[in-house]
Amino acid sequence: MRTYFFSHDSQKVFISFFLFGLLNNILYVIILSAAIDLVGSSTPKAVVLLADVVPSFTFKLVAPFFIHLIPYKIRLYSLIVLSSGGMLLISSSPTNLKFLKIVGILLASLSSGMGEVSFLQLTHYYKDDAIGGFSSGTGGAGLFGSFLFMLFTNIMGIPVWIVLIFFAITPLGFLITYQFLLPKPSHEYHAIGLNEEEEEEAEEEAEDMEIELSEGGGNSSSSSSSSSNKLTAHITNTVERIKPLVLPFMLPLTTVYISEYVINQGISPTLLFPLDNLPSWLFSSYRDIYVVYGFLYQLGVFISRSSVTFGIRIKRLYLLSILQAVNVFITIIQSMFDLPFTSIWPLLMLIFYEGLLGGSSYVNTFMSVSEQVPKSQREFSMGCVSISDGLGIVLAGCINWWLETTLCNLQVQRGRDWCLKGDSL
């Protein structure tokens, strides 16, 4: 039987999951904020985006088939090693060895995917405070990460590689939070989230093994055939459990993420204005514009991902997909024709609004899962639906590989070569 906490533990649960979300996503945000610094202005930022999301997405894709076998503490130590090691590799690699920087990004991304699946599944053991805390924490990661990166690099002038080393120590907070702050369920959980169906399957497998042992184990060919049949049945059963989640939850979230990451990594690097018309204390170069866009987007995400804590719910998930697609259309027109905005300030508000929509889609999707999916399937479903944002980002990255270069070339043909200017780490 599942053990859930009463209200007197709610505050600790919320803070714990807030910290999990914050720590899990902040390196992802820092890496995207530093995209221009890492690969330079001549390389599509989709390179960083794909390296920052493909390992995470791949892990989420295969996790439903095996994640229940890995204890939490092993995952926590893995998160620390992968994320800290990745950030150290990114910061210490020479400028001319971009390949090593990409490897570091891949390691940090793998950590992010493992963390998101694990912590979302862990919310099943707690009340809605856990989902609200984790969602708010992931939004906070975007806000604090992009703001601190903008503060350290744009305003304080600290070298990017030093900033990256500073953030390499933050993953230690996973273990501290888990050991000293998070209230533990009254039962032991050695493997995460075996639901009732999986428990029955495990018991049947144990009984079958006992029969085989009592009969002398049989021949190797029949044993191999039996194992193969059980593996096939497990995969088929897992896929069947995923299918009901696609249309109501996964597709809306995927389409929202496609739209927002097409804007963030494919279009926004080309949404530039003359530096002479901008305040010099904030915009000293064209790469600074990209960093400010990232901060405003993350501010919107943080506010909307925290909205469920105040009882704000949006249940029409497809409406958010449509509104975000409209933003893609507006920003593409702006990049191609410098319309409808002749000043950066309305565009900054649009980027903020884009973040509001993206964060709303994330938190309301997982709240809908917790409300509509039966308890016996909820833990499994939380992990599966987390595939959606990764899929959307991967597809956006593929689009951006072509889109950013195309939009930049169109601007150069009009005599605006600002999208080609920038610095790299």
How many other CB atoms sit within 10 Å of the CB of residue 217? 11
User: Does residue 207 lie within any of the structural domains?
Assistant: no
The domain in which residue 270 lies consists of 11-187+239-420
Q: Kindly report the average pLDDT of the chain as a whole number.
A: 83
pLDDT tens digit sequence for 164-179: 888 899 999 999 999 8
Whether residue 291 contacts residue 154, with contact meaning beta carbons closer than 8 Å, is answered with yes
What is the dihedral sign for C-alpha 134, 137, 139, 142?
Answer: negative
Q: How many CA atoms lie within 13 A of 360 on its CB side?
A: 20
Max mean pLDDT range (79-83, 181-185, 220-224, 376-380): 79-83
Q: Is 265 exposed, middle or buried (0-12, 13-18, 19+ CB in 10 A)?
A: buried
Cα–Cα distance for residue pair 323/224, rounded to 1 Å: 52
Residues 288-312 have a mean pLDDT of: 85
Residue 36 to residue 43: CA distance in whole angstroms: 8
Q: Position of tokens 């043909």?
A: 413
Residue 45 belongs to a domain with what CATH number?
1.20.1250.20
350 pLDDT more than 80: yes
Q: Please, is 63 exposed, middle or buried when counting C-beta atoms within 10 Å of its C-beta (0-12, 13-18, 19+)?
A: buried
C-alpha–C-alpha distance, residues 304 and 357, integer Å: 7
Q: Would you say residue 44 lies in a domain?
A: yes
* Residues 392, 396, 402: CA angle, nearest 5 degrees: 165
The pLDDT assigned to 190 comes to: 39
The stretches of 285-386 forming alpha helices (DSSP H) are 286-305, 317-337, 344-372, 375-385
Q: How much is the pLDDT for 177? A: 92
Residue 326 lies in a domain: yes
Which pLDDT value is given to residue 257? Answer: 95
In tens, the pLDDT along 85-112 reads 988 988 888 766 778 888 888 898 899 9
Query: Does 298 reside within a domain?
Result: yes
3-state helix, strand, coil in the chain (%, to 5): 80, 0, 20
In whole angstroms, give the CA distance from residue 359 to residue 338: 27
Overall domain count for the chain = 1
Task: Say which residues have a Cβ less than 8 Å from residue 15's Cβ, sequence separation at least 6.
Answer: 133, 181
Would you say residue 356 lies in a domain?
yes
Segment 353-388, tens digit of pLDDT:
999 999 999 999 999 998 899 888 887 898 889 899
The reported pTM is 0.74
Position 222 in a domain = no
* C-alpha distance from residue 167 to each of 77, 138, 154, 163 (Å): 17, 16, 17, 7
pLDDT at 198: 47
pLDDT at 332: 97
For residue 229, tell me if it sits in a domain.
no
Q: Does the residue 216 lie in any domain? A: no
CA angle 347, 301, 319 (to 5 degrees): 80
